[in-house]
């Protein structure tokens, strides 16, 4: 079997056991594949060179959200949050990662059947860890376009859950943006206000104040979003206002930046061909990006509780050494 991504020999966690990636396959008629009946989390691990450890960022918060997503989708994860944290650290250790890492935790309806429903169909929980690759390649900022595809409304699907099937909406917007020569898309809510990007939350800065769409605009309430808001308030003393934002406000912003697990913090240099500020990274974005980098690498003691070490876990390492 070909393995162009090179994942075949990775160790993954699936159906209660650690196994090779190639041994954890699903059938073509699997309900989660056919109907998008799954929910997931993306989690980052950051390599700390001084400690020689992969630090997993805000694991508890991610797995609390996964648990809530599963509840909305009538799914049973089969593990507590604390168990998922331990499994994730063990998984990274078994793969012997020595660099930045990305974890994808997923719960999906696993029955091979035809028929749309949620109740009465068993679930599989899996966690896959891979070396992290940079999400964006645009080092000088992103060219962003407003999408013709509207963000799905919460009356159509639970947007506080990361449901796999809902990402067809994001994929359409991102693909349209790329076909139009942009790097990323801004999606509007059903009433025409700014919602979010294809897979990131959005912030804009005007006159030293940070603005971001409030949850009523069908955003995913991102964990990185919350982190950056906390850092802006606590470390920089900045004001953050959550409210509906018009498209024209993005055109006249001093700075516009994004947050998300895969991307961290990154900025836009233009929206619909209109430059943001002078087209370079603004001072507030720069400070938040540096702060975030320090936090996720475990350099700031006051936020150390937000990271979970992979190798510096004595009880787990002792158990691993005995096998």
The token pair at 305 is 């509780």
Tokens read off for 220: 């995913």
Residues 6+ apart with CB under 8 A from 73: 37, 38, 39, 107, 118, 158, 161, 163
Structure-block tokens of residue 83: 């168990």
Q: Is 109 a catalytic residue?
A: no
Contact in structure between 185 and 198 (CB atoms under 8 Å): yes
Between the CA atoms of 12, 56, 265 and 152, what dihedral angle is there, to the nearest 10 degrees? Answer: 50
Nearby residues of 236 by Cβ (< 8 Å), 6 or more positions away: 284, 287, 288, 291
Residue of 52, 134, 162, 287 with catalytic role: 162
The catalytic site residues sit at 162
């Amino acid at each position: 079997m070909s393995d162009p991504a090179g994942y075949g020999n990775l160790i993954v966690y699936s159906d209660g056991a650690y196994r090779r990636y190639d041994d954890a396959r699903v059938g073509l008629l699997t309900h989660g594949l056919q109907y998008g009946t799954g929910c997931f989390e993306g989690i980052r691990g950051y390599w700390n060179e001084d400690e020689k450890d992969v630090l997993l960022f805000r694991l508890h918060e991610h797995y609390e959200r996964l648990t809530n997503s599963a509840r909305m989708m009538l799914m049973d994860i089969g593990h507590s949050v604390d168990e998922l944290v331990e499994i994730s650290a063990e998984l990274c250790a078994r793969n012997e990662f020595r660099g930045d890492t990305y974890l994808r935790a997923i719960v999906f309806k696993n029955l091979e059947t035809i028929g749309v429903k949620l109740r009465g169909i068993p679930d599989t929980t899996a966690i896959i860890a891979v070396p992290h690759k940079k999400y964006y390649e645009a080092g000088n900022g992103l060219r962003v376009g407003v999408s013709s595809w509207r963000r799905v409304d919460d009356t159509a699907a639970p947007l506080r859950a990361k449901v796999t099937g809902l990402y067809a909406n994001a994929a359409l917007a991102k693909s349209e943006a790329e076909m139009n020569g942009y790097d990323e898309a801004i999606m509007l809510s059903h009433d025409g206000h700014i919602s979010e990007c294809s897979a990131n939350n959005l912030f804009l800065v005007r006159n030293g104040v940070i603005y971001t769409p409030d949850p009523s605009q069908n955003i995913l309430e991102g964990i990185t979003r919350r982190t950056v808001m906390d850092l802006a308030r606590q470390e920089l003393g900045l004001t953050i206002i959550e409210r509906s934002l018009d498209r024209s406000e993005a055109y006249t912003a001093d700075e516009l930046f994004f947050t998300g697990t895969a991307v961290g913090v990154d900025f836009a240099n233009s929206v619909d061909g209109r430059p943001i500020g002078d087209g370079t990274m603004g001072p507030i974005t720069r400070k938040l990006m540096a702060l975030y980098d320090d936090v996720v690498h475990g350099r700031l003691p006051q936020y150390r509780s937000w990271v979970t070490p992979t190798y510096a876990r004595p009880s787990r390492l002792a158990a691993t050494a005995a096998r």
